[in-house]
Structure 1
Amino acid sequence: MDEGDLLARRFQAERPRLEAVAYRMLGSAAEAEDAVQEAWLRLARSDADAVQNLAGWLTTVVGRVCLDMLRSRTSRREAPLDEQPVEPAPDAPAETPESQALLSDSVGLALLVVLQTLDPAERLAFVLHDMFAVPFDEIAPIVDRTPAAARQLASRARRRVQGGTPQHPDLVRQRRIVDAFLSAARQGDFDALVSILDPDVVIRSDGRFQRQGAVTVARGASVFGPMAAGAHLILVDGRVGAVASMTGREYRVLLFGFAGDRIAEFDVISDPGRIHDLKLSTLD
């Protein structure tokens, strides 16, 4: 076996972990694959014999690539929202243990959405340290900070992820209503849906599609039923909402407005820019 083949095998052994890191950083399996592929290209162009810790070196490279991609994504959001193209739904991701664990776990999916709201440097520090136990001494050069500053980045991110879930009576009521709505939608229970929806309920999708009236919306249960099937509760701007996985890795945020004990508004948000502007946190 020549040196090139040996290096490729060593890289392939690291690939699942690198893709898991990149996926949590970027929230897109396609972009995660691109980031990992870029790491391979950089490795192939480097003096691999001089790399003493290949796993650490690759993690650093993937972290820097993801950080650049996140910053580029943030700068593109400075353009008006209606000028941003809607990314088509990607194919299903490769089934690695890491991706299966993330996508099948409701807290993991909710956490992925919350991570999208963090500053890129905070996100990298939190993901690498809290999820993959990378020391702050190794994180610091990636974000151009001192180890102490990198620790502060992760701490701020951790507070954002863990905070904002007080169960005061209004949130308890909202949770009960949303739970009932999702359950009825999953079962296609027309009568239950009508009873949960305000007679003049309005449903929108990224502000471009509208359907009005409890009966009309309930009849469309077949449309949002698949979303409800993969939905999990989350706190959205201080209100109970949901995050739904549609294709295994594409997700949408469901934002509800309430009138008494009924749902008066139902927004489906899939645009990454709009999701980024929401204040999201996990709901225990």
Structure 2
Amino acid sequence: MQSATETFVAHRNLLFTVAYEMLGSAADAEDVLQETWLRWVDVDLGSVRDRRAYLVRIATRQALTRLRTLRRRKEAYVGPWLPEPLLTVPDVAEDVELADSVSMAMLLVLETLAPVERAVFVLRDVFALEYGEIADAVEKSPAAVRQIAHRARAHVAARRPRKTVSPAQSRDAVAAFRRALETGDLQRLLDMIAPDVVLLTDGGGVVRAAVEPVVGAAAVAGVLGRIGAAMSLGTAPVNGHTALLVRRDGVLDTVIAVRVDDGLITGLYAVRNPEKLSRVERETAVRR
């Protein structure tokens, strides 16, 4: 039991990150960890050649099962569904590939993949598992996994941000965005956002939020222009990138993640559902 516990603890952050990238929900990822642990303690460790790979296989299978259930919940969700934001440690931003993989923009791209495609992409392109290890996790042949990986990679490449944004660029973009909101400088705001910018607001039917995407610079600026006067604004590392934290009377009200392409803000992801905001008050460790 001690050996099993030590191994699980050593890989816990990795397993959480795998589950979170597959599900976009920290609460569900924690449930996957619990289910993985319950199965892991029943394993004959003497028969396990690679404990890390074995644990990832258990977690992946549990996440795939939960992902199918989660998809049904999302279909009944009120308004846009956004991933649950995480307050990440600052050094995550320095690992560009990890920060990109847990960003709001990438998690939304992963939402467009089929469950097995998502699992294969995450395990291969983010965590660099061998095709044989992935095949065991998703119960496919290595040849089939190669085909799935190729298809998923092409799908993601067509939809992901065109260029990786450095930590400095992310901080600068959000700082300028914050200043424009605080000063009510509509022209500065318009200069920062792309003509076809999209704002998604996730209230989950619990708090007020747009139930359809807000599209276009003028429409988005009109919505955002009402924030600065009524709220206090701050920043924090969220999902590997600097994000805007909006507080009302000292209480966290909204987390706004930003997507930047070619120097302009092309996507804004505003999570308002209070059930999704608990992970922004305490740091969550994500690891590859």
1:153 aligned to which of 148, 155, 179: 148
Aligned residue type for 1:34: D
Q: Aligned with 1:241: secondary structure?
A: strand
Aligned to 1:191: 185
**Residues 242, 248 of structure 1: CA spacing in aligned structure 2 closer, same or farther, 3 A cutoff?**
farther
**Residues 44, 196 of structure 1: CA spacing in aligned structure 2 closer, same or farther, 3 A cutoff?**
same
Displacement of 1:158 after TM fit? 1.1
Note the alpha carbon deviations across 1:131-161, whole angstroms, 9 max, x for none: 1111112222332322121112111221122
Q: Any gaps of 5 or more consecutive residues in structure 2? A: 163-171, 192-198, 202-208, 236-242, 245-255, 281-288
Note the alpha carbon deviations across 1:138-185, whole angstroms, 9 max, x for none: 222332322121112111221122114798xxxxxxxxxxx9998354
Q: Percent identity?
A: 33
**Residues 74, 213 of structure 1: CA spacing in aligned structure 2 closer, same or farther, 3 A cutoff?**
closer
TM-score (norm 1): 0.61
Query: Would you say 1:218 and 2:244 are equivalent positions?
Result: no
**Residues 126, 193 of structure 1: CA spacing in aligned structure 2 closer, same or farther, 3 A cutoff?**
same
Aligned to 1:33: 30
State how far apart, in whole Å, the 2-side matches of 1:35 and 1:88 are.
16
Aligned to 2:66: 69
Higher helix share: 1
Count of residue pairs brought into register by the alignment: 226
Q: Aligned with 1:231: secondary structure?
A: strand
- Higher relative contact order, structure no. (Cα contacts within 8 Å, ≥ 6 residues apart): 2
Query: Aligned Cα RMSD in Å?
Result: 4.6
State how far apart, in whole Å, the 2-side matches of 1:214 and 1:93 are.
26
Q: Any gaps of 5 or more consecutive residues in structure 1? A: 168-178, 251-284
Aligned to 2:250: none
Structure number with greater Rg is 1
Q: Aligned with 2:112: secondary structure?
A: coil
**Residues 48, 100 of structure 1: CA spacing in aligned structure 2 closer, same or farther, 3 A cutoff?**
farther
Displacement of 1:68 after TM fit? 0.6
State how far apart, in whole Å, the 1-side matches of 2:132 and 2:123 are.
11
Q: Aligned with 1:45: secondary structure?
A: coil
Query: Would you say 1:162 and 2:157 are equivalent positions?
Result: yes
- After the TM superposition, which parts of structure 1 deviate over 3 Å for at least 4 consecutive aligned residues? 75-78, 86-90, 92-108, 164-167, 179-187, 193-197, 212-217, 222-228, 243-250
Aligned residue type for 1:55: R
Q: Which range is displaced more, 141-150 or 154-163?
A: 141-150
Displacement of 1:119 after TM fit? 0.9
Note the alpha carbon deviations across 1:96-135, whole angstroms, 9 max, x for none: 9769958994674122221122111001001111111111
